[in-house]
C-alpha cells in the first residue's frame, strides 16, 4: 500500500480533493494528544491500493501553530512515500511559499495546480509545465471540484514514488546566512546524535529561523552543539542588524519570496487583465461587509440559521423522543417491576434517549455552520466582529459558538463548544469553549419560565430579556477574567485570509456534517451511558428502609379499604383516563397518587443525592437554596432538563413534566421557602453553574484534556455560587424581594 | 515618496511595503501571508468598527488588526 499525504494552504481545495478521492471511505480522528483533526482514507487507483492522509491546512512550516507542528512531525516521522502539495492557481505566489519550504525539506513532492477554472475565469493563464521544469517535480493542473485532472495527478504522484529520493532544494539566502548554514551543516553531519532524524541543511536553516522545536531537540540531543549554534546565531544577528537592519528569519523569508518572484517571472503566469479588477467575490463583499449593510445582513443570516435549525429540527427531535418514549414503555411492560426495570427505564433509556434526542439538532446546526464556513462567510463574520470580541480577550470567530450555545436563547452548548473548532487561535479558542456554556441553552429555559412565571409574572418579557443580557455580559466578562488569569498572554495575531466566496459542494457539506454528528453519537453511546446509570443510582440508593416501604403499602391498603370498592383494579390501572372513572374511583386515585408522590419524595430524600442535598444545605443557605433545590440543581449537572422534573419529585408531585408545570408553580408560590429573591438567586445560579455532562465531555475533548472539563465543572459552579450568594445576601440585607 | 504606517492609509489607497518591524510570532505570520518588503497592495476596506483592515495583495484578501498594521511601514504616493 502506498501512502500519499495532501498538503497545502487553507482554502486551496485540499479537503475537496480528499473527499473526491476517498468519498465516504474516510476516517476522522485526532492526532495523538492534540485536537487537530487527522483525516485518513483509502482508495484504489489502477489496481493499486492507496492510503491518503489529509494534512491540516497551513501557510508555512514554522512551529507556531499546532497545525504546523502536526504537519511537520508527520512529514519527518511518518515519511509518506509521496506528498501532493495543492496550489491555488488563482493565487500562486503565496501558495508557492509553502511549496518552496516543502522542497527545502527534501520531501518527495508532486504539485497539483488546482482551481485552474477560477484562474482562467480571472484571465490568468498558468503554465504548470514550466513550473514543473523549473522545480524538477511534476505539476499537474486540476479542478478538484469536478475531478478534472485527478487521474493524471495520481499517475504522476505514483511515478514520483518510484524515483530516487529527491535532494533538498538549496536556495541562497545571502552570503552571511549561507556561510553560517555551511558551518552548521558540517557540524551536524559529524554528530552521531543529530545526523539521522532531520536533513542537516534543513535543520540548520530552521535553527537560524529560531524554530523552538528544533532548538529544543538540539539542546536535548547535543547541548554543546546547541550552545555553539546559539553563539553563532547571536553573532549573525548582530551582523545583520548593523549592516542590513534585519534579522535572519526575516531575511530567509525575503529570499524565499525573491526566489518565487524569479520563478513567476519565468513566464509561469500571464495576467490578461489588471490584477486589481473586482471579482464577483469582491462585489459580494461590497455589500456583505459594508459598514452599514454588513451588520444588518449578519443579523439576518444568523437569525435565519437559528430559526431554520431550531424550527425544522423540532420535527425529527420529536420522532426521537417518541421512539425513546415507546422504548421506555415497552421495557416497562416487558420487565418485572423492580430495580432492574427502574435502571433500564429511568437510567439508561431516559439518559441516553435525552442525549440522542439532540442528534437531529446537531445535524441541522452543523449543516448550517459547514455551509457558512465552506462558503467563506464565517471569516467575514470574524472580520466584522473582531473589534468587539478582542476587548474581552476573544477572537472575532468566537461569535458563532456563543450564539449556538444560546446567545439567542434556546441554543445548545454541545454544538456550540464543537463549533469553536473554527477558531484557529489556541488561547482565544479555549476561553470561548469555557464561556460559551454560560449562554442560555434550550434546556435551561423551562426552569427560567417557571420561576419567572411564578415570581415575576408582571414583568415576564423584561425578566427573560434581562436573563439574556446577564448571560452575554457574564460570558464576556468571565472570558476576560480567564484571559487575565488562567489563560494569560497576548492576543494571538489576527492576520487572516478572507477566502473568496465559493458555493460549497454538497458532498463536502454532508461529509463534514456527518463527521461531527457521528462523534456526538459515539459519546452518547459510551460515556453518557455510564453517567446515566451513575446518576440514576445516586437518586435511587440507598433504598427506603423495609419498615418505610411496609408503611406505604399499609397506607395504600387502608385507602382502598376505606372506600370498600368491589373492584379496585380500575383505579390502579393508569391506562384508564380520569374521565372514565366514577367520582369515587377518581377520588381514590388522587389519594393514591398523592401517597405515591410522598413515597417518591421520601425515597429521593433518603437517596445519596438527597443526603448530599441536605448535607450541602449549610453552605447553600447563603444563596438561599434548601435541600430540594440542591437536589434539583445536582440533577441539572447531568442534564439541565432534569431540574424541573426533580424539583417536582422533591415537592411530592411525582416527576413533573416541564410542559405542564402549573402545579409546581402553585407549590412554589405557596411555599415559605421561596421568594422572588430566592427565585432570582436560583436563576442566576442556573445561568452560570456547571455545564451539563455532555457539554463537559465536549469541553474536555475540544480543549484537549480532562483538566479543562473538570475546571469548567468546579470554576463555573464556584462562580455561580458566589454570584447567587452575593445577590441573595445583599437582597436580604436591603429587604428586596423577600 | 512618503513612508507612513499602514494604519494611516485610506480605503483604496495603494502602497508598497517598505519595512516590517514586528518580530516573533506576529512577524512570522505577516511574512507567511506574503507581506514582505517590496510587496504591492491596496487597502480594500475596513470592518464596520474601522478595525481590522482588509488588504488586497498577490490576488487574495488579507485582514489584520490596526494594532498589527502599526508595525508595517508603507511607501505611498502621497500621505
Residue A195 has pLDDT above 70, yes or no: yes
B37 touches chain A (CB under 8 A): yes
- Banded model confidence at residue A480, pLDDT cuts 50, 70, 90: very high
Strand runs labelled E in A174-300: 269-271
Residue A414 has pLDDT above 90, yes or no: no
pLDDT at site A661: 57
Residue A271 has pLDDT above 70, yes or no: yes
Average pLDDT over every residue of A713-721: 97
pLDDT at site A59: 93
The mean pLDDT value of chain A amounts to 88
B42 touches chain A (CB under 8 A): yes
Question: How far B20 CA lies from chain A's nearest CA (Å)?
Answer: 9
pLDDT at site A660: 55
- Banded model confidence at residue A251, pLDDT cuts 50, 70, 90: very high
Question: Highest mean pLDDT: which of A295-309, A433-447, A563-577?
Answer: A433-447
Question: How far B15 CA lies from chain A's nearest CA (Å)?
Answer: 13
Residue A247 has pLDDT above 80, yes or no: yes
pLDDT at site A677: 95
Residue A64 has pLDDT above 60, yes or no: yes
> Which residues in chain A have Cβ-Cβ distances shorter than 8 Å to B68?
493-495
Question: How far A284 CA lies from chain B's nearest CA (Å)?
Answer: 13
Q: What are phi and psi of A520, to 5 degrees?
A: -65, -45
Grid cell of A315 as nine digits: 420535527
Residue of chain A with shortest Cα separation from B59: A91
- Banded model confidence at residue A724, pLDDT cuts 50, 70, 90: very high
Q: Which of A676, A711, A683 is nearest to A696 (CA)?
A: A711
> Which residues in chain B have Cβ-Cβ distances shorter than 8 Å to A282?
44, 61
Average pLDDT over every residue of A455-469: 89
The pTM for the full model equals 0.84
| Measured distance CA(A24)–CA(A493) in Å, rounded | 36
- Banded model confidence at residue A672, pLDDT cuts 50, 70, 90: confident
User: Tens of pLDDT along A214-236?
Assistant: 999 999 999 999 999 999 999 99
Among A92, A122, A276, the residue with its CB nearest the CB of B56 is A276
pLDDT at site A110: 96
- Banded model confidence at residue A149, pLDDT cuts 50, 70, 90: very high
Residue of chain B with shortest Cα separation from A260: B34
Partnered with residue B55 across adjacent β-strands are B43, B62
CA pseudo-torsion sign B70, B73, B75, B79: positive
Q: Write b or e for each residue in A385-408: b if 16 or more Cβ atoms lie within 10 A of its Cβ, otherwise e.
A: bbbbbbebbbbbbbbbbbbbbbbb
- Banded model confidence at residue A34, pLDDT cuts 50, 70, 90: low
Q: Which of A331, A281, A303, A255 is nearest to A97 (CA)?
A: A255
| Across A251-255, A364-368, A390-394, least confident range | A364-368
User: Tens of pLDDT along A285-335?
Assistant: 999 999 999 999 998 998 888 778 778 888 888 888 889 889 988 988 898
Average pLDDT over every residue of A70-87: 93
Binary contact (A495, B33; C-beta < 8 A): yes
Query: Distance between terminal CA atoms of chain B?
Result: 9
Question: How far A387 CA lies from chain B's nearest CA (Å)?
Answer: 6
- Banded model confidence at residue A434, pLDDT cuts 50, 70, 90: very high
Residue A681 contacts residue A653 (beta carbons within 8 Å): no
pLDDT at site A35: 65
> Which residues in chain A have Cβ-Cβ distances shorter than 8 Å to B65?
386, 390, 494
Binary contact (B56, A59; C-beta < 8 A): no
Average pLDDT over every residue of A442-450: 86
Average pLDDT over every residue of A563-577: 72
B23 touches chain A (CB under 8 A): yes
| Measured distance CA(A588)–CA(B45) in Å, rounded | 76
- Banded model confidence at residue A445, pLDDT cuts 50, 70, 90: confident
pLDDT at site A523: 66
User: Tens of pLDDT along B5-35?
Assistant: 999 999 999 999 999 998 888 999 999 999 9
B73 touches chain A (CB under 8 A): no
| Measured distance CA(A212)–CA(A216) in Å, rounded | 6
pLDDT at site A292: 92
> Which residues in chain A have Cβ-Cβ distances shorter than 8 Å to B46?
291
Name residues whose C-beta falls within 8 Å of residue A10's C-beta, 6 or more positions apart in sequence.
Answer: A57, A58, A59, A497, A499
Binary contact (A495, B30; C-beta < 8 A): yes
* Chain A positions with Cβ closer than 8 Å to B: 59-60, 62, 64, 90-94, 97, 122, 124, 247, 249-250, 253-254, 257, 275-276, 282, 285, 289, 291-292, 294-295, 383-384, 386-388, 390, 396, 492-500
Residue A522 has pLDDT above 80, yes or no: no
pLDDT at site A598: 87
Question: How far A431 CA lies from chain B's nearest CA (Å)?
Answer: 20
Partnered with residue A37 across adjacent β-strands are A30
As a three-state string, the secondary structure of A53-102 is EECCCCCCCCCCCHHHHHHHHHHHHHCCCEEEEEEEHHHHHHHHHHHHHH
| Measured distance CA(A712)–CA(A703) in Å, rounded | 11
Among A257, A282, A494, the residue with its CB nearest the CB of B36 is A257
Question: Highest mean pLDDT: which of A245-254, A298-307, A575-584?
Answer: A245-254
pLDDT at site A654: 61
Binary contact (B52, A91; C-beta < 8 A): no
User: Tens of pLDDT along A594-640?
Assistant: 888 888 888 888 999 999 999 999 999 999 999 999 999 998 998 88
| Measured distance CA(A338)–CA(A328) in Å, rounded | 15
User: Tens of pLDDT along B38-71?
Assistant: 999 999 999 999 999 999 998 899 999 999 999 9
| Measured distance CA(A715)–CA(A707) in Å, rounded | 11
Residue of B63, B67, B68, B70 for testing the chain A interface, max A β-carbons within 10 Å? B63
Q: Which of A387, A385, A379 is nearest to A422 (CA)?
A: A379
pLDDT at site A273: 62
> Which residues in chain A have Cβ-Cβ distances shorter than 8 Å to B72?
none
| Measured distance CA(A438)–CA(A473) in Å, rounded | 10
* ipTM of the complex as predicted: 0.96
pLDDT at site A91: 87
Binary contact (B33, A94; C-beta < 8 A): yes
Average pLDDT over every residue of A642-657: 76
Residue A276 has pLDDT above 70, yes or no: no
Among A254, A383, A499, the residue with its CB nearest the CB of B47 is A383
Binary contact (A249, B56; C-beta < 8 A): no
Amino acid at each position: 500500500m502506498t501512502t500519499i499525504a495532501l498538503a497545502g494552504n487553507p482554502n486551496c481545495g485540499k479537503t475537496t480533493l480528499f473527499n473526491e478521492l476517498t468519498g465516504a471511505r474516510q476516517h476522522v480522528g485526532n492526532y495523538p494528544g492534540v485536537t487537530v483533526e487527522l483525516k485518513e482514507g483509502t482508495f484504489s487507483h489502477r489496481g493499486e491500493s492507496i492510503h491518503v492522509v489529509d494534512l491540516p491546512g497551513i501557510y508555512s512550516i514554522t512551529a507556531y501553530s499546532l497545525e504546523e507542528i502536526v504537519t511537520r512531525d508527520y512529514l519527518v516521522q511518518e515519511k509518506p512515500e509521496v506528498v501532493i502539495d495543492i496550489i491555488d492557481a488563482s493565487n500562486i505566489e503565496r501558495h508557492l511559499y509553502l511549496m518552496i519550504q516543502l522542497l527545502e525539506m527534501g520531501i518527495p513532492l508532486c504539485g497539483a495546480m488546482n482551481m485552474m477554472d477560477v484562474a482562467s475565469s480571472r484571465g490568468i493563464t498558468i503554465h504548470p509545465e514550466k513550473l514543473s521544469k523549473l522545480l524538477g517535480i511534476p505539476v499537474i493542473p486540476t479542478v478538484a471540484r469536478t475531478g478534472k485532472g485527478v487521474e493524471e495527478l495520481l499517475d504522476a504522484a505514483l511515478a514520483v514514488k518510484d524515483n530516487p529520493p529527491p535532494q533538498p532544494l538549496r536556495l541562497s539566502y545571502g552570503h552571511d546566512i549561507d556561510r553560517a548554514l555551511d558551518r552548521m551543516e558540517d557540524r551536524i553531519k559529524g554528530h552521531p546524535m543529530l545526523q539521522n532524524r532531520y536533513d542537516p541543511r534543513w535543520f540548520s536553516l530552521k535553527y537560524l529561523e529560531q524554530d523552538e522545536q528544533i532548538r529544543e531537540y538540539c539542546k536535548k540531543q547535543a547541548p554543546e552543539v546547541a550552545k555553539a549554534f546559539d553563539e553563532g546565531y547571536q553573532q549573525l544577528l548582530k551582523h545583520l542588524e548593523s549592516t542590513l537592519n534585519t534579522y535572519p528569519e526575516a531575511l530567509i523569508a525575503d529570499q524565499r519570496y525573491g526566489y518565487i518572484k524569479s520563478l513567476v517571472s519565468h513566464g509561469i503566469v500571464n495576467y490578461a487583465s489588471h490584477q486589481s479588477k473586482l471579482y464577483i467575490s469582491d462585489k459580494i463583499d461590497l455589500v456583505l461587509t459594508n459598514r452599514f449593510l454588513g451588520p444588518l445582513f449578519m443579523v439576518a443570516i444568523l437569525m435565519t440559521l437559528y430559526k431554520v435549525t431550531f424550527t425544522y429540527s423540532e420535527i425529527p427531535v420529536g420522532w426521537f423522543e417518541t421512539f425513546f418514549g415507546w422504548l421506555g414503555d415497552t421495557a416497562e411492560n416487558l420487565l418485572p417491576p423492580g430495580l432492574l426495570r427502574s435502571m433500564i427505564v429511568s437510567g439508561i433509556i431516559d439518559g441516553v434517549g435525552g442525549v440522542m434526542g439532540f442528534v437531529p439538532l446537531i445535524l441541522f446546526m452543523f449543516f448550517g455552520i459547514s455551509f457558512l464556513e465552506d462558503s467563506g462567510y464565517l471569516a467575514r463574520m470574524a472580520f466584522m466582529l473582531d473589534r468587539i470580541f478582542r476587548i474581552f480577550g476573544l477572537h472575532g470567530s468566537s461569535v458563532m459558538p456563543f450564539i449556538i450555545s444560546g446567545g439567542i436563547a434556546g441554543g445548545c452548548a454541545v454544538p456550540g463548544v464543537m463549533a469553536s473548532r473554527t477558531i484557529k487561535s489556541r488561547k482565544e479558542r479555549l476561553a470561548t469553549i469555557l464561556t460559551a456554556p454560560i449562554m442560555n441553552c434550550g434546556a435551561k429555559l423551562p426552569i427560567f419560565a417557571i420561576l419567572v412565571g411564578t415570581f415575576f409574572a408582571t414583568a415576564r418579557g423584561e425578566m427573560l430579556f434581562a436573563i439574556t443580557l446577564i448571560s452575554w455580559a457574564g460570558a464576556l466578562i468571565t472570558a476576560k477574567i480567564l484571559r487575565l488569569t488562567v489563560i494569560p498572554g497576548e492576543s494571538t495575531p489576527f492576520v487572516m485570509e478572507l477566502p473568496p466566496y465559493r458555493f460549497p459542494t454538497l458532498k463536502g457539506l454532508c461529509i463534514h456534517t456527518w463527521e461531527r454528528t457521528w462523534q456526538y453519537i459515539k459519546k452518547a453511546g459510551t460515556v453518557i451511558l455510564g453517567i446515566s446509570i451513575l446518576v440514576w443510582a445516586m437518586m435511587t440508593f440507598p433504598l427506603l428502609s423495609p419498615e418505610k416501604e411496609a408503611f406505604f403499602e399499609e397506607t395504600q391498603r387502608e385507602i382502598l379499604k376505606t372506600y370498600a370498592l368491589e373492584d379496585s383494579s380500575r383505579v390502579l390501572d393508569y391506562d384508564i383516563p380520569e374521565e372514565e372513572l366514577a367520582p369515587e374511583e377518581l377520588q381514590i386515585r388522587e389519594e393514591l397518587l398523592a401517597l405515591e408522590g410522598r413515597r417518591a419524595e421520601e425515597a429521593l430524600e433518603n437517596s445519596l443525592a438527597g443526603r448530599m442535598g441536605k448535607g450541602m444545605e449549610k453552605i447553600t443557605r447563603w444563596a438561599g437554596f434548601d435541600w430540594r433545590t440542591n437536589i434539583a440543581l445536582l440533577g441539572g449537572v447531568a442534564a439541565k432538563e432534569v431540574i424541573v422534573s426533580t424539583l417536582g419529585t422533591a415537592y411530592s408531585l411525582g416527576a413533573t413534566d416541564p410542559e405542564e408545570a402549573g402545579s409546581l408553580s402553585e407549590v412554589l408560590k405557596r411555599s415559605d421557602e421561596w421568594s422572588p429573591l430566592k427565585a432570582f438567586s436560583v436563576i442566576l445560579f442556573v445561568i452560570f453553574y456547571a455545564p451539563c455532562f455532555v457539554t463537559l465531555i465536549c469541553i474536555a475533548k475540544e480543549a484537549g484534556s480532562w483538566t479543562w472539563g473538570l475546571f469548567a465543572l468546579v470554576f463555573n459552579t464556584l462562580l455561580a455560587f458566589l454570584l447567587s450568594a452575593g445577590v441573595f445576601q445583599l437582597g436580604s440585607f436591603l429587604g428586596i424581594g423577600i | 515618496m512618503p513612508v507612513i504606517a499602514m494604519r494611516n492609509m485610506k480605503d483604496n489607497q495603494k502602497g508598497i511595503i517598505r519595512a516590517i518591524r514586528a518580530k516573533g510570532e506576529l512577524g512570522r505570520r505577516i511574512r507567511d501571508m506574503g507581506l514582505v518588503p517590496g510587496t504591492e497592495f491596496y487597502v480594500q476596506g475596513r470592518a464596520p468598527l474601522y478595525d481590522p483592515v482588509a488588504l488586497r495583495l498577490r490576488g487574495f484578501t488579507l485582514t489584520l488588526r490596526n494594532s498589527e498594521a502599526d508595525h508595517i511601514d508603507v511607501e505611498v504616493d502621497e500621505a
